Amino acid sequence: MKVFVYTATDVQGNTIKNARMSAEDVNDFLEKIHEKGLFCSNYKEVTNKKSGTLHKFKIKELSYNCRQLSAMLTSGLTLVRALDILYKEQQNDAAKQVFRDVYEEVQKGSSFSDALRKQQGCFPDFMVSMIQAGESSGSLDVIAKRLEEYYDKQNKLNSKIKSAMMYPIILAILCVAIVVGLFTFIMPTFKDMLTEKDMKGLTGALFAFSDSIRGYWYVYIAVVLILVFVIKYSLKIPDVRYKFDKLICKMPKVGKLIVKVYTGRFARTLSSLYSSGIPMVEALQRSSSVLGNSFIEKSFVTVIDEVKQGEQLSVSIQRTGIFESMFCSIIYVGEESGALDTILEKSASFYEDESDEAIQRLVGIIEPVMIIIMGVAIGFVIAGILPALYNSMENVA
């Protein structure tokens, strides 16, 4: 699917500028323009990856749109009418264009899931799979409700993580600002009070560091930017990303808390997919991929193969050693009782509550670390300056 940016005039003579449309090729694009009753005066194909996506919907946007869609379908509106209203309600022009394309595709006879899939990169695969399952079972309104609940919970979790991380981020910025301030503005004021004899050992090293920051601050900034770029680029390399994600899951204390967050998200996703009638193998593939952890996703390749061969899900997951034993036991109970979808839903709610506590604990670990770093930096300055100042005072006396 290609993306075209165009300028056109409608039948009333209104000019539409910089509008976007997805199409298979130029002929398909011109045919769609003709169907809309537009006269295209200029168009070009978007080639770069960043602009190639019409509009990638965020979790908050998906939560809102699924809520609106669920309410309209539940109240008895047809899908076409609901999409027409959704298209007109969009505040963002790019989002409005996407929903307009979806609306027109459905109006022409395409299924809702196919229309979403044609907007490549705009909607997550999870949502498309759920919609497709709803169309197959004839329960699109129920699926829309589940999507609303799923994205609403994801949005709340993301908001909690952002809120919880706000204080540590502010503390980290404050820590850096204090350290830079100490070495840039405060330490130089004591330099004239010290003799060459005093500028030895720790004192000399601290003042040398202070001078280098003041004289070559641009080098430090360049080094930080290069490090950020290298880390960001390295994490795009599959092997590096795999090792990094594995390290996150296996870290002492912190790893267990992060895995709890993953467990809650995995349980909710698997519950939503499986209870919607999606086969277990596909549900496992989707559930492991939405976590954004390559180590877990790679581990689940083996789980999926074993489930295909008839192995119990609980046993396969237990072998990975990722999730805690209690979660595997819960899945085992669901398999034995034949109520896996119900058990998964209840465990998802439980682990989502556990995720909230895990986030608070993670923040509780980060905060003292930041304070310790700040204290160590100030301690070094005091240990380097005070003895030298004391000696200088004795010499004056």
Residues in the chain: 397
Instruction: Catalogue all structural domains in the chain, each as residue range(s) with its CATH number.
Output: 2-52 (3.10.20), 59-123 (no CATH), 139-397 (1.20.81.30)
Angle at which helices 340-396 and 325-337 cross, to 10°: 170
181-187: Cβ within 8 A, 24+ apart: 182/377, 182/378, 182/381, 183/209, 183/210, 183/213, 183/381, 184/210, 184/213, 184/214, 184/217, 186/381, 187/381, 187/385
340 vs 288: CA distance, rounded Å: 17
Listed in sequence order, the DSSP H helices in the chain are 26-35, 49-52, 59-74, 79-89, 93-107, 112-118, 125-137, 140-181, 188-191, 201-215, 217-234, 238-250, 254-275, 280-289, 294-308, 313-320, 325-337, 340-396
pTM: 0.70
Q: What is the DSSP letter of 15?
A: E
In tens digits, what is the pLDDT along the chain, a chain of 397 residues?
677 777 888 777 777 777 777 777 788 878 877 777 777 878 777 654 444 446 788 888 888 898 899 899 888 888 889 988 888 888 887 888 888 888 888 888 888 988 888 887 788 888 888 888 888 888 888 888 888 888 888 888 888 888 877 887 888 888 788 878 878 887 777 777 766 676 777 777 888 888 888 888 889 899 999 999 999 899 888 899 899 988 988 888 788 888 888 888 888 888 888 888 888 888 888 888 888 888 888 888 888 998 888 888 889 988 888 888 888 898 889 888 888 888 888 888 888 788 778 777 877 777 788 788 778 877 877 777 777 677 666 655 4
